[in-house]
Each structure stands twice: as structure tokens, then as C-alpha cells.
Amino acid sequence: MSSEGQMWVEKYRPNEIGDLIGQPNVVSRLGSLLENPKEMPHLLFTGPPGTGKTSAALIVAQKILGEPWRDYTLEMNASDERGIGDVRDKVKIFSRHLAMNAPYRIIILDEADEMTNSAQTALRRIMEESSRFTRFIMICNYSSGIIEPLQSRCAIIRFPRLPKEELVRRLEKICRDENLQYDEAGLSKIYDISNGDMRQAINLLQGASLLGKIDAENIERVSGITHKGKVGEIIELALDGKFSKARSELIQLTKVQGLSESDFIKYAGDELFRIDDPNVGEIAKLISEYDYRLVRGANPDIQMAALLAHLGSLRGSSQKLDIGNTKDQSDP
């Protein structure tokens, strides 16, 4: 295979603003900003995963800074470096120096909504002090996770979820470039699983290419979509008050088979519509609440156990677990 050993998400990453798919408004706004880079404000890119936010930030840095863009660009994943110490040690030092042969330096903060409030407050001051020398591009899935003083200092650009036809068209092109056999059902299945996340879609495509034809069966094998049915079983066990059994099955699924807690929540939401339960509305509210807690950085093991116990209480089960005020547990 021509791209053996290479990650396709990098091989097919857009290199031009116009290459971003399914984002006409984003392309238009960024194109206007790049026409006069000296006047570009700090930017906040927000939207679902896999919609082109990081690619857009890298393209902006390359177009504005030119060939030495790597020397004048600091990339940080704020979910890993989220504390005030990281802001002081890295961001502050990098932002205070003048860029040679470039209008300014650029700092890209990916997953900025994972930064602590104290770190965001410190960042606010740094943005004010370094605006002559530095521009910030913050990237997040949820703009609600960014404090208002930071949002007010940025031009906010929202990336909507990718339309199915756009994503499938891009996958078709990759299949042709890689000489892969495929059918429409297989590519449609990729979209359904990825939910419009281009990064996940391309990873699924590359994984399935090792099995042969890109069809629905191979996509399911690669994605572990059989996990979805197991998630439904665990939800049913929890609703029936069988907390210990549900917890045991959950541990097997997440710790042994490798399903992430966020994917468990996602699949639970999908399975919700197949559950015949009069409390389906309350179940949906619970799932959304625990999804939010995970996004905010709460302990996954504690939250998953609390979710199962909470579900058991909805049917008045005899196996209730008093978890008290769960909101206190969710604080990261």
C-alpha cells in the first residue's frame, strides 16, 4: 500500500484554508483575516471534534509566519498542560519575545476548555501584556468552558459538524488515492460511527483497509461497534438494580476491551432510543449530566459507578446505592 507506515490523518490533513471541507463560513472568515494578518485578533475556534479546528489553526500559522513558522509557533495541548504553572512557564516566556521577519508569534492552545480557571485567568493577563508580539488561537469543543474575559478578547469562529455528503466524498477520494475497494454502505457506516468526526473517520478507514474491502462488516470489526450492544446490556442491568453485575461488565468493557468512558456515554445515548422504559427522559438527562462531568475532567471511574447507581434508582430497585450529592463528586 502506498501509504503504509504513515498516518492518513496527517497525510490528508488540509494545507490550504480552501481545503477545509463542510466549513464555507469558516473558510470565508479566515480568508478575510489572512488578507490583513497584522490586524488579526486573537482567535477562538469552537466546535465538535474532527471538524478542522486544529488544521485551520496550523494553516493560519503557516500562512502568516511563512517558512520559519515552526520557530514562531508554540503548540500546547491544554488537556495535558492545563495548570497555571504551565501557563507561566511556557506561554508567558514564549509570548514576551519579538518574532524576527514575522508580524508576531502564534500560540495554539488545543483543548483550551480543559484549562483550569486559574490558568485561564492568568492567560487573560498574558494576552493583554503580549498583544504587540503574540496572537493566541484557542481551540475547544465547548466554548462554555472558556471564561468570559477570554472569550471577549477573541474573534469566535464556530465549526459546525461536518455534513454526511461532504465527509463521505472526502473518504471516497482517499479510497481512490489509496486504491481501495469500497462500497457506499461501508462509507456510510463510517459516518454513522464517527458522527461527523473526520479524524475518527479517516482512522477507521485506514484500520479497515488492512482487512480488505471497505464495507460495513469490516468497519464494524475495526470500530468495535459490537461494544454498542454491550453498553445497552449494561444500561439494562443498571436499570434493573443489578449494580454489581453492571459494574463488573463495565470494568470488563473499559479496562480490558479498551472502550473509553466517553465512548461508553456516547453509545449509551445511542442505545437509549432502543430501551423500553417510562423513565427514558430522566435517563437521557442523567447521561447528558455525566457526559458533561467527564468533559469537565471528573474522575471517570467514580462517575461511571455513580451513573450506574443513579440509573438503578430510577426503577425503585432494591439495590440502591446512596451516592449523596453527586455534583460535589464531579468537581475536577
Regarding whether 174 and 129 lie in a shared domain, the answer is no
Say what the pLDDT of residue 319 is. 41
Instruction: Tell me, yes or no, whether 103 and 82 share the same domain.
Output: yes
The one-letter code for the residue type at 92 is: K
Specify the pLDDT at position 227: 66
Poorest-pLDDT segment among 155-169, 238-252, 267-281: 267-281
* Mean of pLDDT values over 199-214: 92
Q: Does residue 64 lie in a domain region?
A: yes
Question: pLDDT: is 99 or 185 the higher one?
Answer: 185
Q: How far is it, in rounded angstroms, from Cα 272 to Cα 281? A: 9
Q: Are 179 and 52 found together in one domain?
A: no
- Distance CA(250)–CA(253), nearest Å, equals 5
Q: Kindly state the cell numbers that stand for 307.
A: 451513573
Residue 297 backbone zone (phi > 0: left; psi -120 to 50: alpha; other: beta): left
What are residue 42's phi and psi, to 5 degrees? -65, 150
Total structural domains within the chain: 3
Which of the two residues, 254 and 107, has the higher pLDDT score? Answer: 107
Q: What is the rounded distance in angstroms from the CA atom of residue 198 to the CA atom of residue 190?
A: 10
- Residue-level pLDDT at 226: 55
The pLDDT-based confidence of 177 (bands split at 50, 70, 90) is very high
Q: Are residues 50 and 152 in the same domain?
A: yes
Over residues 187-202, mean pLDDT: 90
1-31 confidence digits (pLDDT tens): 444 567 899 999 999 999 999 999 999 999 9
Query: Regarding predicted confidence, which is higher, 325 or 18?
Result: 18
Residues 38 and 146 in one domain: yes
Instruction: Identify whether residues 239 and 301 lie together within a single domain.
Output: yes
What is the pLDDT, as a whole number, of residue 225? 59
* Better pLDDT: 325 or 234: 234
Provide the domain limits for residue 44. Answer: 23-158
- Whether 182 and 218 map to the same domain: the answer is yes
Average pLDDT over residues 34-60: 94
Give me the pLDDT at residue 77, please: 85
Please, what is the angle between helix 198-209 and helix 164-177, to 10°? 40
Contact 54, 157 (CB under 8 A): no
Same domain? 95 vs 125 = yes
Same domain, yes or no: 152 and 59? yes
Inform me whether the pLDDT recorded for 332 exceeds 60: no
In a domain, 330, yes or no: no
- Report the pLDDT averaged over residues 145-153: 93
Cβ contact 137:45 at 8 Å: yes
The verdict on residue 65 lying in a domain is: yes
Question: Average pLDDT over the chain, rounded to whole?
Answer: 85
Query: Is the per-residue pLDDT at 223 higher than 90?
Result: no
pLDDT, one tens digit per residue, over 110-142 is: 988 888 888 899 889 888 888 888 999 999 988
Same domain? 146 vs 204: no
Let me know whether 47 and 153 are in one domain. yes
pLDDT band, residue 326 (cuts 50/70/90) = very low
Confidence at 80, pLDDT banded by 50, 70, 90: low
Residues 297 and 218 in one domain: no
